[in-house]
Amino acid sequence: MTIPARFTEPADTTVEAPPKAKRKAAVRREVGRSIPRLESHAKVDGSAEYIYHLRLPGMLQGKICRSTVPHGRIVRIDASAALAIEGVHAVITGEDIRTLIPDPYYGPAFHDQPILAIGKVRYVGEPVAVVLAADLHVAEEAADQVVVEYEPLEPVFDEVAATKPGAPIIHDSLRPAGMFPDLQYLKGRSGTNVALDARVLHGDVEKGFAEADQVFENVFRSRKVVHATFEPTVSLAELNGSNGLTIHTSSQSPSYVRAEVSRLLGWPENRVRVRTAFLGGSFGAKLYIKLEALVAACALLVRKPVRIGLTMEEEFYTITKHGATVRIKTGMAKDGRIVAREVETWWNGGAYADIGPRVSQKSGFTAAGPYDIENVSLINYAVYTNDPPAGALRGFGISQIVWAYECQNDIIARSLGIDPLEFRRRNILHDGRPHATGTIMTNAEIDEVLDRLSDRMHWDVLFDHGSGPVRRGRGLAIGFKACIAPTTSVAVVNVYGDGSCCVSCSTVDMGQGSDTAMAQIAAETLGISTETVRVIHPDTDVTPYDMATLGSRSTYHMGNAVRLAAEDARAQLLRIAAATLQTDIEELEYRDGAVISRSGARMTMRGLMLARFGMQAGTVIGMGTFTPPYTKPDPRTGQSPQITPYWMLAGAAAEIEVDTETGRIRVTKLVNVGDVGCAINPAIAKRQLNGAGTMQLGFTLFEEMRFNEGQVINASLADYKIPGMLDVPEDLSAELVEFPHEHGPFGAKGVGETGMFSVSPAIANALCDAIGVRIMELPLTPERVLRAIRESENRPLESE
């Protein structure tokens, strides 16, 4: 659907973009300051609040009993031994939950996931029962004593195999979530593991290939990885009065949790209160429903507060990043221009859809890359398998896609003898040109990103590839992402009786610095110091709606809402001043947290509040609502004139050393360049790029969930390695490209995911540059590199 334009703030959506040269930032005091995060001190002294630490009086701890088979029917659950253990309060099963919630299936895209398994399990680790006890150790001991008997069913793990005829079917039929009209056509579809088959058609791809001078086709794969947040997932639920429920949860999406738990219970939203605190990292792991429905149901069943906090091992069984198989076929013209591209992607969504279909759809429509290609066909399959569910992970599928197209672009460039950077310059999608989705590209500084990469890498200078067993290489890659649409953010800025103020919004600060950014935006608008602004954390009873903290949308969406709310508060303060000074509002100017009249009279915010309320009293409540315009894609072509509020553009370049005797890659230099529009806080924005770059470095070099018949065999941080300080490149840097986005708050765009996009292909391209081998599958483990070297030398590894 199209959101009527009148609902959107005119200042944000209807202003014509001025020429770039004019879109330089005005003089600002707070926006653009690289101040430390507001909560830095509290995080160091231990006073910062995390839900994992929360204990409620009288609460029970829950321990989840999990499926031991990847696919099977539940024949029997015997909790008698568990219940016999002293201190065990209850053992809850899916059938118990059904007494409270007749249809206990949840999910943001499909209502496919039971709160606890009912009748069937679909992956190893699926929650089957919960043991509740006041003492967590008792609950853990008892959980081991719950006996579940399964009748095994044939599993399927590979995302391509799962789409083939004859593959075991994991869900009887599809149940799209009611909130998405565009998915309703799938309702009741059966006999398939493909939850969504999303296509974008642009031009005539067959004709393009026919006219191409050369066609390249490759398949790229990436494996499942996990978010590995330091604070594990945790939720607590308690009764709130006689007919309400409060959920304390480590969630990126409190507003969604409220709506979904309300829907499950059949309650209006105002009876469910969801509050969050700081998150100890999330990266997409703590989105939508994770433990919230389960603790809510348990608390209502036993009429006591219930807490469930996962162990790190359980995180591996809760949500993962999609493994993906990408077949990419590209038609080239002699002049090095891409004339046709077809990308077919199989997304391994695991046993439950979570937001996977949206991942496949929304990252899928960018699968041709930020390139100007006349003929494009993009096909994305969101596939059910018997792996743990896959959902959002920083980048929302983009890094799997960029991995494919930027590796292939390098293959093509090398094959055609074109410098990889020049190859990309030649094909870039410039502002004003239509993207494959039909949306015109705007505010996309990809040229500048390439220029900065070139500068930083001294691309024009001859590069020493080394000799001997350790070889050196360099590579680069670019990528882009659309921001999620359509979504809304609402913010409130309260000015208190003494003129101090707060920002009240439902954006979750999970380490990305959103509190600080929102405070800077409010402070800039109100002309006060950022450090004096207080940011109130999400509590759905009182902080207004926000779609969720995801997809790098907060700075743009909530930032705009906060800016509008602060402007509203400022306008109210001006009206108070006009009334108090008995003057026209036009005679007044708001400057540096005060109103100044032409006659020189000055009223501070405190003074204005005193004037308005006659004492230190009252609240001036500024409100801001931001919903950028969006047009629903044509279901036949997947095209839309306005598919995203903005594009995130980024590039990465790497210099590496490869030990050809061990296969080990050492990244010596990593540069991440991101088009951020305007950095509200440059230091934080750079840390986002470097943090994302380092995270993707782990996914590139060694992170990989390893499975044995659906069982994760490295489900611990001892066996699943994430980057440590020694893995960080000596020369790690980030660079911000800042051309203010015409509709961003002070020109800002999101940056949380930007640094993820291009790291993997940059390193793989550098590997090829160093030793001439091309690896098509992530991660680039020493074993895989060594195998590729041996294969290239026609002497395979002994193990094979």
Q: Output the DSSP codes for 377-408.
A: EEEEEEE--SSPPEE--TTTTHHHHHHHHHHH
* Residue in 612, 743, 749, 784 binding a copy of itself, rule: CB under 8 A: 612
Q: Which residue is associated with the tokens 């193990």?
A: 799
Subset of 220-239 contacting a copy of itself (CB under 8 A): 239
For residue 121, give the amino acid letter. Answer: V
Catalytic residue, candidates 39, 753, 777, 800: 753
Least separation in angstroms between residue 277's CB and a copy of itself is: 10
Least separation in angstroms between residue 1's CB and a copy of itself is: 6
* Residue in 102, 119, 266, 268 binding a copy of itself, rule: CB under 8 A: 268
Give the Cα separation of 476 and 655 in Å (integer). 9
When the beta carbons of 445 and 567 are compared against a copy of itself, the nearer one is 567
Give the Cα separation of 789 and 774 in Å (integer). 9
Number of chain positions touching a copy of itself (CB under 8 A):
73
Give the Cα separation of 324 and 766 in Å (integer). 22
Give the Cα separation of 420 and 769 in Å (integer). 11
Give the Cα separation of 253 and 549 in Å (integer). 6
Long-range Cβ contacts of 629-633 (<8 Å, 24+ apart):
629/2, 629/3, 629/5, 629/8, 629/13, 629/486, 630/2, 630/3, 630/485, 630/486, 631/2, 632/1, 632/2, 632/182, 633/182, 633/200, 633/437
* Residue in 617, 706, 716, 792 binding a copy of itself, rule: CB under 8 A: 617
Binding mask 502-541 for a copy of itself (x = CB under 8 A): x-x---------------------------xxx-x--xxx
* Residue in 21, 462, 615, 725 binding a copy of itself, rule: CB under 8 A: 615
Subset of 121-180 contacting a copy of itself (CB under 8 A): 179-180
Subset of 537-556 contacting a copy of itself (CB under 8 A): 539-545, 547
When the beta carbons of 532 and 662 are compared against a copy of itself, the nearer one is 532
Least separation in angstroms between residue 499's CB and a copy of itself is: 8
Least separation in angstroms between residue 643's CB and a copy of itself is: 14
Q: What is the DSSP letter of 574?
A: H
Give the Cα separation of 792 and 796 in Å (integer). 9
Indicate whether 601 belongs to the interface with a copy of itself (CB under 8 A).
no
When the beta carbons of 255 and 380 are compared against a copy of itself, the nearer one is 255
Q: What is the DSSP letter of 131?
A: E
Least separation in angstroms between residue 104's CB and a copy of itself is: 19
Determine phi and psi for 700, rounding to 5 degrees: -80, -40
Subset of 176-205 contacting a copy of itself (CB under 8 A): 179-180
Which range binds a copy of itself by CB under 8 A, 108-116, 228-236, 319-327, 617-625?
617-625
Subset of 428-447 contacting a copy of itself (CB under 8 A): none
Least separation in angstroms between residue 621's CB and a copy of itself is: 5
Give the Cα separation of 242 and 130 in Å (integer). 24
* Residue in 7, 78, 147, 152 binding a copy of itself, rule: CB under 8 A: 7
Q: What is the DSSP letter of 606?
A: H
Subset of 55-74 contacting a copy of itself (CB under 8 A): 55, 57
When the beta carbons of 453 and 566 are compared against a copy of itself, the nearer one is 566
Give the Cα separation of 162 and 384 in Å (integer). 7
List, in sequence order, every residue forming a beta bridge with 346; answer none if it has no partner.
Answer: 325, 381
Sequence-distant (6+) residues with CB within 8 A of 360 are 196, 198, 322, 345, 347, 349, 380, 381, 382, 397
Least separation in angstroms between residue 705's CB and a copy of itself is: 33
* Residue 753 annotated among the catalytic residues of the structure: yes
Give the Cα separation of 642 and 633 in Å (integer). 8
When the beta carbons of 80 and 270 are compared against a copy of itself, the nearer one is 270
Q: Output the DSSP codes for 342-375.
A: EEEEEEE--SS-TTHHHHHHHHHTTTT-SB--SE
Subset of 564-583 contacting a copy of itself (CB under 8 A): 576, 579-580
Which range binds a copy of itself by CB under 8 A, 201-209, 264-272, 339-347, 372-380?
264-272
When the beta carbons of 400 and 504 are compared against a copy of itself, the nearer one is 504
Indicate whether 243 belongs to the interface with a copy of itself (CB under 8 A).
yes
List, in sequence order, every residue forming a beta bridge with 731; answer none if it has no partner.
Answer: 669
Subset of 26-55 contacting a copy of itself (CB under 8 A): 39, 41-42, 45, 47-49, 53, 55
Q: Output the DSSP codes for 230-267.
A: SSPPEEEEEEETTTEEEEEE--S-HHHHHHHHHHHHT-
Subset of 448-507 contacting a copy of itself (CB under 8 A): 486-488, 490, 492, 494, 496-502, 504
At residue 563, the 3 state secondary structure works out as helix
Indicate whether 660 belongs to the interface with a copy of itself (CB under 8 A).
no
When the beta carbons of 67 and 506 are compared against a copy of itself, the nearer one is 506
Q: Cite the active site residues.
A: 753
